[in-house]
Copies of this chain bind each other. A is one copy, B any other.
Amino acid sequence: MPDVSLLEEVVADATPLLGQGKVANYIPELSKVDGRKLGIAVCSSDGGVVGAGDFQEQFSIQSISKVFSLVQAMTLYGEAEVWSRVGKEPSGNAFNSLVQLEHECGVPRNPFINAGALVISDLLQSRLSTPKHRMLELVRELSGNSQIFSDKAVAQSEYQHMARNAAIAYLMKSFGNFHNDVDQVLQTYFTHCAVRMSCADLARAFYFLSNKGVGLDGKRVLPEKQNRQVNALLATSGLYDGAGEFAYRVGMPGKSGVGGGIIAVVPGEMSVCVWAPELDENGNSLAGIAMLEMLGKRLGRSIF
| A267–B304 CB distance below 8 A | yes
C-alpha gap A110/B245 in the complex (Å) = 10
Q: Which label, helix, strand, loop or mixed, suits the secondary structure of the A interface?
A: helix
Give the complex CA separation of A92 and B89 in angstroms: 7
Complex alpha-carbon distance, A98 and B105, angstroms: 12
Given contacts A93-B92, A244-B88, A244-B110, contact A304 B232 (CB under 8 A): yes
Mark A200-225 against chain B: 1 for CB-CB distance below 8 A, else 0. 00000000000000000000000000
Chain B residue contacts of A174, Cβ below 8 A: 163-164, 167
B267 touches A303 (CB 8 A): yes
Contacts of A229 in B (CB 8 A): 248, 304
Copy number in this complex?
Answer: 4
Of the candidates B99, B162, B251, B253, the one whose C-beta lies within 8 Å of that of A102 is: B99
Among B102, B163, B182, B236, which residue has its beta carbon within 8 angstroms of that of A247? B236
- Quick one: CB contact mask for A166-203 with B, threshold 8 Å, 1 for yes? 11111101100010001000000000000000000000
Residues in B whose Cβ lies below 8 Å from that of A259? none
Chain B residue contacts of A98, Cβ below 8 A: 98-99, 102, 167, 171
A48 CB within 8 Å of chain B: no
A90 within 8 Å of B (CB atoms): yes
Of the candidates B167, B171, B247, the one whose C-beta lies within 8 Å of that of A235 is B247
Q: Is A256 close to B, CB under 8 A? A: no
| A97, CB-defined interface residue at 8 Å | yes
Q: Is the CB of A100 within 8 A of B92?
A: yes
- Name the 9 nearest CB pairs between A and B, nearest first: A92-B92, A90-B90, A167-B170, A231-B304, A163-B174, A232-B247, A164-B174, A163-B173, A167-B171
Given A98-B98, A236-B247, A267-B303, 13 more pairs with CB closer than 8 A = A88-B245, A89-B92, A89-B242, A98-B99, A110-B244, A163-B174, A164-B171, A166-B167, A167-B167, A228-B302, A228-B304, A236-B244, A267-B304
